[in-house]
Amino acid sequence: MCSPCRERRSVGVSGVLPLILILILVLAAAAAGCADETPQPAARELRVCADPNNLPFSNDREQGFENRLADLVAEEMGATVRYTWWAQRRGFIRNTLRSLACDVVMGVPTSYELVLATRPYYRSTYVFLQRREAAFRVRSFDDPVLRRLRIGVHVIGDDYANPPPAHALASRGMIANVSGYSIFGNYAEPDPPARLVRAVAAGEIDVAVVWGPLAGYFAPRQHVPLELTPVSPEIDLPFLPFVFDISMGVRREEEGLRDELDAILERRAGDIRSLLREFGVPEHSPPDFNAQANHLDAGGAGR
Amino acid sequence: MRRLCAPLLTAALLAPGCERAADERAVASPPAAPSERASSAPAGAQAGDDGQWLMPAKNYASTRFSELTEIDATNVGRLRHVWSFSTGVLHGHEAAPLVVGDTMYIVTPYPNFLYALDLSDPPGRVKWKYEPQPIRAAQGVACCDVVNRGAAYADGKVVYNTLDNHTVAVDARDGREVWKTKLGDINRGESMTMAPLIVKDKVLVGNSGGEFGVRGWLTALRLADGGIAWRAYSTGPDSDVLIGEDFEPFYEQDRGKDLGVTTWPPDAWKIGGGTVWGWISYDAELDLIYYGTGNPGPWNPEQRPGDNKWTAGVFARNPDTGRARWAYQWSPHDQYDYDGVNENVLLDLTIEGRERRVLVRPERNGFVYVLDRTTGEVLSADAFVHTTAATGVDLETGRPIEVPEKKTGFGRVVREICPAAPGGKDWQPSAYSPRTGLLYIPHNNLCMDMEGLEANYVAGTPFVGARVVMYAGPGGHRGEFTAWDPVNGRAVWKIRERFPAWSGAVVTAGNVVFYGTMDRWFKAVHAETGEVLWQYQLGSGIVGQPISYRGPDGRQYIAVLSGVGGWSGAVVSGQLDVRDPTAALGFVGAMTDLPDYTAAGGELHVFALP
């Protein structure tokens, strides 16, 4: 599923500006008496690096909100979208953005240092996800009921790090009642990280702590009603945030493209918010469009 | 942050001037007289050298010792480059060539071509090329460059693993595929990079992918048809680990039922790592194979209290049934990514007046272990690099004596963890000469800091991860080549290298040791003194395994693959950004100047006397 070379074009609606440009060029060429060699301006492409199998973000059937966002951006640019598909794992940026296969990643943490990030276009939070029918309602990592429940979290790898819920539970001594679900899962199945949501619906676990957009999209698609509750606290001490700002990312040196994307994000902020609502992304609070760097800036260079 | 000019901390590293790291020798102690050593390789290693090279380690004892003597310490200075061959592949070339009769076989990194090269005069013609066409997506699964560590030959077949989890047997005469067996699933993060070992009628192979929460295993395939004979997992219940009543580990903590389950939080063993991507040895008299297991994953240490058996350890097993005889963990509850998969050199040594059948292991955690290979008892464990994470190994319990201040934890800033994650030594195999009684170890001199956190993102999920930065250890050089006396547990001489010594080694009866460097030098060194007798600069850095063979013309040749890459070389082969010191799990920070010394490019090089 994560073939790096499956590329697909999806046609965005051309803007007015290119048409005017073409007209000018045609006229200029005609005036110079070389109409037979009219230079056609190359059609602009928005080259997007994306995971082909990870809803609600993206897939190669272009059903994710990042696919829709790419269409929206392309529309503003008068460009067509061209995808480079690659599973979003370690090496994703290296194999896509950095290898020049594509120019924009539609979603990264704003303080992600492998890229030059745009202004954030949403802020979300990790949530507790449970069956609505349950007798308990988990609201905080300090809720005593957690110790009696079977808890599921995503695990990432031995990169000296895991998603924040795994650390928050371990630091409170909750280990034996916590199950890890690989974020990578089985990539032969659709949307592997969603397995954690399905585990709650199926009763494999009592509660999961899940990144908001994933929970918000898949929870309503289960056969039993599920309930999302933003986690508390928002930041665990000494420094473990559960709330993240998300931006688009471009290569570090491409400030021009970043500025162009920033302008589009500002111009289309209302449409983007509607899009995120349609996909059930739990919005934590409106992102600060003037933020230069968010609270997550841990300093130093990234990986 | 590189620390090329860190203060000298050990007497063994006396060379002045931090930037002149390469080529400077510092003699820690004079070589002991041969009579004091009384050591030898076991019978399996000394069956007489027919001049071929049928497995990467040369023999089942994994000594990489060639009995050929035409090239020796007195004439190696006249060694000449006689022919070469480009593989057409740019990733890290870690494999050893094989020589069978008048043919040489070389395996490339992904896409895992197998070339058969004619050694008849003039040498180098391609007899055939086999292309297994692994799934492209497998590249995204390999943690640390898409390497392959070589093939093995037996019964007319060349057998090796492809990155996308197939073991293939190819007819050595015509390149026809005899069988191909799928053993793992890239969709679950598995890949295969190790070289098989063929024992009797079985091919032994293991998996990679601990970074993705893969559960490690060793699998035996039938050489005849590629069918799976048995599989032994590194974690989980005894029935999966193939532990039964004949399992007799030496240490108390390794006895008990289902320790591969009970030394983990519930179910954590199911994604517990312990992958088998390194080396296997075999003792025909004891009829036991020996191999190591990778680090535990994917949880952080505080999330997996317990010893996390049987990760970062070693197994002795019966090759026919897979049943475990004993097991031992080098690094129980590993916190530093110290995979335990390095080579197991099987020697018969006289230790404190007693003949012992031993397994010598230069281990990632920075100690050279000498184990009794019949029982798994640790006889000695001495540091061969600067170590701060542990002060030694408790011979009563077999456990490393850990330094509490170096304990890692989420958000904890811990500086000067030595050795760094690639260890005192990574996969790069050492060589042993029964003539000198010395083990020749190519290795690293790296430390690391865990200094705070940074945002990360995987599969649409944001998190903060540890910021890991590696840098040169004491002396300011990043690699060393050490001659080690395993009886007395001390270095006899050391050569300092600018970069981690990431190639294998080979030693000959002519008292010459060969190895390569990442800054492109292929070196011949005097086995007794460490004097560099000859060196030759190749086109790309060397991370391959040199071999010594007799050509169809009866003459001795030395061959090695160049082509920089691997975890340490990913900054070149993966075109990583040198501005990201934490890229490649923090290794790039220690390798920012590698692109000044080498570019990528795989080539075979062959040398001989005029």
As a 3-state breakdown, chain A gives helix, strand, coil percent values, each rounded to 5, of 30, 20, 45
Q: What tokens does A133 get?
A: 């029918």
Q: Is B396 a catalytic residue?
A: no
What percentage of chain B exceeds 90 in pLDDT? 76
CB A38, CB A241: distance < 8 Å: no
Which residue on chain A is closest to B463 by alpha carbon?
A: A163
* CATH of A9-122+245-278 among 3.40.50.300, 3.40.190.10, 1.10.599.10, 2.40.50.140: 3.40.190.10
Give the model confidence (pLDDT) of B198-233 as tens digits. 999 999 999 998 777 789 999 999 999 999 999 999
Any A CB within 8 A of B404 CB? no
Sorted by where each begins, the domain ranges of chain A are: 9-122+245-278, 124-241
Q: What is the DSSP string of B51-62?
A: S-B-STTSSTT-
Task: Assess contact for B295 and B313: CB atoms under 8 A.
Answer: no
What average pLDDT does this structure show over B26-42? 38
What kind and span of H or E run contains A20?
helix A16-31
Domain at A124-241, CATH homologous superfamily: Periplasmic binding protein-like II (3.40.190.10)
pLDDT along chain A (303 residues), means of 10: 37 38 42 45 89 96 98 97 91 88 96 94 97 96 96 80 89 91 87 96 98 98 97 87 96 97 97 97 70 36 29
Cα distance from A101 to chain B (closest Cα, Å)? 14
B1-35+71-94+427-610: CATH number: 2.140.10.10
Q: How many residues does chain B have?
A: 610
Residue of B559, B518, B525, B558 lying closest to B539 (CA atoms): B518
Q: What percent of chain B has pLDDT over 70?
A: 89
Is the reported ipTM for this assembly greater than 0.90? no
Q: Can you tell me the distance from the alpha carbon of B127 to that of B449, in angstroms, rounded to the nearest whole number?
A: 50
The beta-carbon neighbor of A154 closest among B185, B300, B461 is B461
The DSSP annotation for B97-154 comes to: PEEETTEEEEE-STTT-EEEEE-SSSTTEEEEEE-----GGGGGT-SS-----B-EEE
Say how many C-beta atoms besides its own lie within 10 A of residue B48's C-beta: 5
- Phi then psi dihedrals of residue A161, to 5 deg: -160, 150
Check CB contact under 8 Å for B297 and A1: no
Position A152 scores a pLDDT of 96
* CA A190 vs CA A91, A186, B196: distances in Å: 21, 8, 34
Which residues in chain A are contacts of B586 at CB distance < 8 A?
A: 303
> What's the sign of the alpha-carbon dihedral A46, A51, A56, A62?
positive
A&B contacts, CB < 8 Å = 223
Q: Are B137 and B181 in contact (CB under 8 A)?
A: no
Task: Return the residue in A60, A86, A90, A178 with the most chain B beta carbons within 10 A, the one to mutate for interface testing.
Answer: A90
Do B360 and B432 contact (CB within 8 A), yes or no? yes
Confirm or reject contact between B296 and chain A (CB < 8 A): yes
> A212 to chain B, minimum CA–CA distance in Å?
9
What φ, ψ does residue B253 adopt, rounded to 5°? -70, -10
CB contact under 8 A, A170 and B410: yes
For the question of residue B480 being annotated catalytic, the response is: no
All structural domains of chain B with their residue ranges: 1-35+71-94+427-610, 235-271+293-342+351-419
Residue in B560, B553, B549 with CA at minimum distance from that of residue B71 = B549
Q: How far, CA to CA in Å, does A143 sit from each of A154, A177, A205, B565?
A: 20, 14, 17, 49
The percent of chain B in helix, strand and coil, each rounded to the nearest 5, is 10, 40, 55
User: What's the pLDDT band for B302 if we cut at 50, 70, 90?
Assistant: confident
Q: Residue A38 has what pLDDT?
A: 52
Residue B474: φ, ψ to 5° = -50, 135
Does the structure show a pLDDT above 80 at B377?
Answer: yes
What is the rounded average pLDDT of the residues B349-366? 96
From CA B393, how far away is CA B402, in angstroms rounded?
A: 9
Q: Confirm if A69 and A272 have CB atoms less than 8 A apart.
A: yes
DSSP calls for A236-269: ETTTEESEEEEEEEE-TT-HHHHHHHHHHHHHTH
Selected for mutation to probe chain B from A184, A235, A242 (highest B CB count within 10 Å) is A184
Q: What is the DSSP string of B33-55?
A: PGGGT-EE--GGG-S---S-B-S
Active site residue B211: yes
Indicate the SS3 state at residue A75.
helix
- Average pLDDT over every residue of B81-103: 97
CA–CA distance, A30 with B552 (Å, rounded to integer): 73
For the four alpha carbons of A303, B6, B10 and B12, in that order, the dihedral sign comes to: positive
Q: Which two tokens stand for residue A64?
A: 């994710």
Say how far apart CA A150 and CA B329 lie, in whole Å.
31
- CA-based nearest residue in chain B for residue A189: B187
Q: Which pLDDT belongs to residue B275?
A: 96
The verdict on B413 touching A (C-beta cutoff 8 Å) is no
What ranges make up the beta strands (E) of chain A?
9-10, 45-50, 53-54, 58-59, 80-85, 104-109, 116-117, 122-131, 151-155, 178-182, 207-211, 226-230, 235-236, 240-241, 243-250
Marked catalytic residue, from B67, B211, B307, B497: B211
Chain A residues in contact with B189 by the CB 8 A cut-off are 182, 184
Cβ separation B459–A183 shorter than 8 A: yes
Residue B20 has pLDDT above 50, yes or no: no
In this prediction, residue A36 carries a pLDDT of 43
Give the pLDDT confidence score for residue B560 in this predicted structure. 98
Average pLDDT, chain B: 89
Q: Which residues of chain A does B331 touch, with a Cβ-Cβ cutoff of 8 Å?
A: none
* Apex A131 CA angle, A129 and A134, nearest 5: 120
Mutation for testing the B interface, residue in A124, A159, A239 having most B CBs under 10 Å: A159
Per mean pLDDT, which range of A116-120, B412-416, B536-540 is the poorest?
B412-416
B142: confidence class by pLDDT, cuts 50, 70, 90: low
- Which residues have CB under 8 Å from A238's CB, separation 6+? B411
CA distance to partner chain A, nearest, from residue B73 (Å): 45
CB contact under 8 A, A107 and B299: no
Give the C-alpha separation, A100 to B424, whole Å: 36
**How far apart are alpha carbons A169 and A155 in whole angstroms?**
13
